[in-house]
A = this chain, B = another copy of it.
């Protein structure tokens, strides 16, 4: 099983949220998730947590496609509401891949292509051995 499948299938929250893997390769990933009733906030719009989840799942795939990495920082603006029932798309594009850090552009868009969330996130590569032994932080996801 490839790295992508391993992360995707092993991630209980991604599975529980019913996410769909649309595309994932080194440096880029795209996933979708439906705004089900259980993901609504008190104003009956899609919860910010769902938007974060869509962006974060794409982030994890885009950085872990090639190397093991831990997500360390997320900055994001939520600018529009997700509508009940629509399928939203989370995207991550690695725009800097350094020896010590990877930085990504994150976006979440609605079914009609309108921008809902935009942000930036940072991950650090770690070796599997190091991670297993010393647990320096957490895996990106």
A contact set with B: CB distance below 8 Å: 6-13, 16, 37-43, 45, 47-50, 52-53, 56, 60, 70-81, 95-96, 98-101, 103, 105, 115, 118-120, 122, 124, 126, 131, 134-141
Q: Is the CB of A74 within 8 A of B72?
A: no
- A79 proximity list for chain B (CB < 8 A): 72, 96, 98, 101, 103, 137
Measured CA separation A45–B137 after assembly (Å): 11
Query: How many copies of this protein are present in the complex?
Result: 4
Shortest Cβ-Cβ A-B pairs, 8 listed: A75-B75, A10-B42, A41-B141, A81-B138, A43-B139, A13-B47, A79-B96, A49-B53
Q: List 10 extra interface pairs beyond A79-B98, A80-B138, CB under 8 A.
A: A10-B43, A12-B41, A43-B131, A43-B139, A49-B141, A77-B103, A78-B137, A79-B96, A81-B135, A101-B124
A-B contact pairs, 22 of them (CB 8 A): A11-B40, A12-B37, A13-B40, A13-B49, A41-B60, A41-B138, A43-B139, A45-B139, A47-B141, A48-B71, A48-B141, A49-B52, A49-B56, A72-B79, A73-B78, A77-B96, A78-B138, A79-B101, A95-B115, A99-B136, A100-B137, A119-B120
